[in-house]
Amino acid sequence: MNGIIGVFRKEIAITFTSPIFYATGFIFLLVSGYFFYSNTAYFSLLSFQAAQNPFLSESLNLSHMVIKPFFGDISIILLLMLPLLTMRLYAEEKRSGTIELLFTYPISDASVLAGKFAATLVVLLALLAGTLPNMIILETMADLEWGIIVTGYLGVFLMGAGFIALGAFVSTLTENQIVAAVISFGALLILWAVGWAKSLVGPGLGAVLGHLALIGHLDNFTQGLIDTRSMVFYVLFIMFWLFLTHRFLNSRFWRG
Amino acid sequence: MIQVENLTKYYGLKPAIQNISLDIESGKIVGLLGPNGAGKTTILRILTCFMQPTSGRVAVDGLDCRTRSLEVRKRIGFLPETVPLYSDLRVQAFLRFAASIKGLIGGGLRRELDRVISECGLQEHRKRLIKHLSKGLKQRVGLAQALLNDPPLLILDEPTTGLDPAQIIEVRNLIRDLGGERNVLLSTHILPEVSQLCDKVIILHNGRVLKEDTPLNLAREIQQGFRTVISVDGPEDEVLRALSGLQGVIDVRASGRPGEIVVNSSSDEGVRPLMARTIVESGWGLREMRSSELSLEEVFVHLVTEETGQEGENAS
């Protein structure tokens, strides 16, 4: 446990001194803020038109037209940004040789991984917390459904944790951070969009692909649902990649 | 303390070390001596559980490095060859990280930090970023992290390379002080270093152990006598002839540099004044006279030729 906390603190210290974090954080907040603004502005435009058109006004819903798409936007930006935060997890240690310290200190691979994963989760939380002011400002002008916002954040957090787990695994494969970022970005994009092929293949495989797609499970959360299936999917997704990471690191004991 | 049996490690198809067996008892400073590429780093990396051997067995304190890696790692403080450190951390933060990974907490951690920081002379550099430190200071930070939690075995991979002469002396003194209470295993390609520091030397060449002995015995065996380098102003042929006739001189040859002559003699004290007198009385100018040690290359040439010679004898 000591070791996990030690690794965690080290990772946090390095992350918050690195320009990568500040650059990605800045761009993340800028782009997500822009999306939020444009969603809200479009909604207010429609609201003005609805003043003359009573049929339109019935279909207007702040949660569906601003909040739900906003979480979709966030997840896309995270897909672009999180590989940049996970690429260094192991690749940097390999390149700089500090992996030699990490592998010869009396600490298990699992503890190192736990510390690194937890630290990156905190970074993800910090990024997501940065988007909260959008909601709070909107709340001063409109009546928000906070239930949907909470489940939406939970969904985006779980999905982001999945991105991080996959990114951590890819980072163990190479000592080049760019390669790690590119591979995890590509893998995430494919897993993100794998559901699009649903209608092209047979119904059996189509259903499987539909369930594998990362984005489909987020929809439940952004509708205000905490669906056990989606919850389990994300948790299993995280565990799967963490498990692979651990096995791959551990393989140095028998690869010889 | 360390048992190594039939250790072999291949990188691809190329063997880095082959069938190495060692038994290092505790309470000593042991040096692994060899040229670059001899397999020193490979052995140390296997001992510290960083790598696994292709075949063979390694045990520290009776604990197998493959199956009980964590327990072995608890007993070892390791300074890798390139001294990898987290350059974005401050000295104190890095050492705190290393200490907490080694299982220290609270007051114990603080005491241990203070101890290694003062032992390695880093008091004034606690708050500095590691990337701003000089090579010598980085080396000290590397040593400090190895010393944390007082491991019974220190493994240092080329602890003095890349340092300036003053720093080298400093680090050597530090290692000698440390060696008093601990076991130290260090690798080096500098011959005088082992004779100054080590109680025992293991000479490696091309992934094999050539020799295992105390530095004194090795020097005696290899050198077989004393060697003096003399610079003389005078006709070389005559000087050579005059010197070779002296008592105690084994052989005399020109070194290749103008006016420089190398003399091997059976004793040290008696022969040098005699040589000096001979040169001066003959009216030649004596510019310089110094004793010379065998270089590492010469030691290897000696050991390697000796080995092949023995093999030849065995074959016939």
pLDDT at residue number B316: 41
Asked if residue B315 has pLDDT above 50, the reply is no
Asked if residue B295 has pLDDT above 70, the reply is no
Provide the mean pLDDT of chain B: 84
**Closest Cα of chain B to A79: distance in Å?**
27
B85 CB within 8 Å of a chain A CB? yes
| B256 within 8 A of B211, measured Cβ to Cβ | no
Asked if residue A167 has pLDDT above 80, the reply is yes
B52 CB within 8 Å of a chain A CB? yes
Please report residues of B whose CB lies closer than 8 A to that of A100. 45, 50, 78, 80, 82, 84
Residue B119 pLDDT level (bands cut at 50, 70, 90) = confident
Asked if residue B197 has pLDDT above 80, the reply is yes
A101 CB within 8 Å of a chain B CB? yes
Long-range CB pairs of A177-185 (<8 Å, 24+ gap) are A177/A87, A177/A88, A177/A91, A177/A92, A177/A95, A178/A87, A179/A91, A180/A83, A180/A86, A180/A87, A180/A88, A180/A91, A181/A83, A181/A84, A181/A86, A181/A87, A182/A83, A184/A83, A184/A86, A184/A87, A185/A79, A185/A80, A185/A83
The identity of residue B204, as a single letter, is L
**Closest Cα of chain B to A22: distance in Å?**
15
Residue B312 pLDDT level (bands cut at 50, 70, 90) = very low
> Are the Cβ atoms of B84 and A100 closer than 8 angstroms?
yes
> Are the Cβ atoms of A106 and B53 closer than 8 angstroms?
no
CA separation for the pair B133, B87 (Å, rounded): 9
Residue B296 pLDDT level (bands cut at 50, 70, 90) = low
Average pLDDT over residues B94-119: 91
A100 CB within 8 Å of a chain B CB? yes
Residue B313 pLDDT level (bands cut at 50, 70, 90) = very low
CA separation for the pair A234, A218 (Å, rounded): 9
- Nearest-10 Cα torsion for B20, B25, B30, B34: -10
B129, closest residue in chain A (CA to CA): A17
| CA distance readout (Å), B281 to A161, A168, A213, B237 | 89, 80, 98, 16
CA separation for the pair A54, A58 (Å, rounded): 7
Please report residues of A whose CB lies closer than 8 A to that of B103. 2-3, 106
Please report residues of B whose CB lies closer than 8 A to that of A14. 86, 88-89
> Are the Cβ atoms of A13 and B87 closer than 8 angstroms?
no
Please report residues of B whose CB lies closer than 8 A to that of A97. 80, 82, 84
> Are the Cβ atoms of B86 and A2 closer than 8 angstroms?
no
Residue B178 contacts by C-beta under 8 Å, 6 or more apart in sequence?
B147, B154, B184
> Are the Cβ atoms of B84 and A17 closer than 8 angstroms?
no
Largest CA distance in chain A: 76
B54 CB within 8 Å of a chain A CB? yes
Cα three-residue angle B94-B117-A88, rounded to 5 degrees: 10
Asked if residue B310 has pLDDT above 60, the reply is no
B54, closest residue in chain A (CA to CA): A256
Q: Which two tokens stand for residue A42?
A: 């479009």
A203 CB within 8 Å of a chain B CB? no
Asked if residue A190 has pLDDT above 50, the reply is yes
Cβ-based burial of B241 (10 A; exposed 0-12, middle 13-18, buried ≥19):
exposed
Provide the mean pLDDT of chain A: 91
How far does Cα A64 stand from its chain's mean position?
21
Q: What is the DSSP string of B49-101?
A: TSS--SEEEEEETTEETTTSHHHHHHTEEEE-TT----TTSBHHHHHHHHHHH
A16, closest residue in chain B (CA to CA): B88
A5 CB within 8 Å of a chain B CB? yes
Q: Which two tokens stand for residue A144?
A: 């928000």
Q: What is the pLDDT of residues A199-231, one digit of tens each?
A: 788 888 888 888 888 888 888 898 888 989 999
Q: What is the pLDDT of residues B235-280, one digit of tens each?
A: 888 888 888 888 778 778 887 778 888 887 776 667 888 888 888 8
Interface residue of B6, B60, B82, B101 to substitute, partner A, most A CBs within 10 Å: B101
A94, closest residue in chain B (CA to CA): B84
> Are the Cβ atoms of A253 and B52 closer than 8 angstroms?
yes
